[in-house]
Amino acid sequence: MAPAFNAERLTDSAKVEKWFKRNCKDVLSRECTAIEKVDVLAYLMGLK
């Protein structure tokens, strides 16, 4: 899911928000905070 490996990842903000909402609820039983989303995005965008 890192843009370095698939240029189409993280390009559609509506889709990113949709999947954050769905997957955070599945995994954490709550929505992620803005800080948690920034951490995940920074990690994925930093992969080379």
Report the interface residues with ligand HEM, using CB under 6 A.
Answer: 1, 9-10, 12, 15-16, 19-20, 23-24, 26-27, 40
d(CA 22, CA 29): 10
Find the shortest distance in angstroms from Cβ 32 to ligand HEM: 6
Find the shortest distance in angstroms from Cβ 41 to ligand HEM: 7
Find the shortest distance in angstroms from Cβ 38 to ligand HEM: 11
Give the DSSP H or E segment for 20. Answer: helix 13-28
- How crowded is the C-beta side of 46, counted as CA atoms within 13 Å? 6
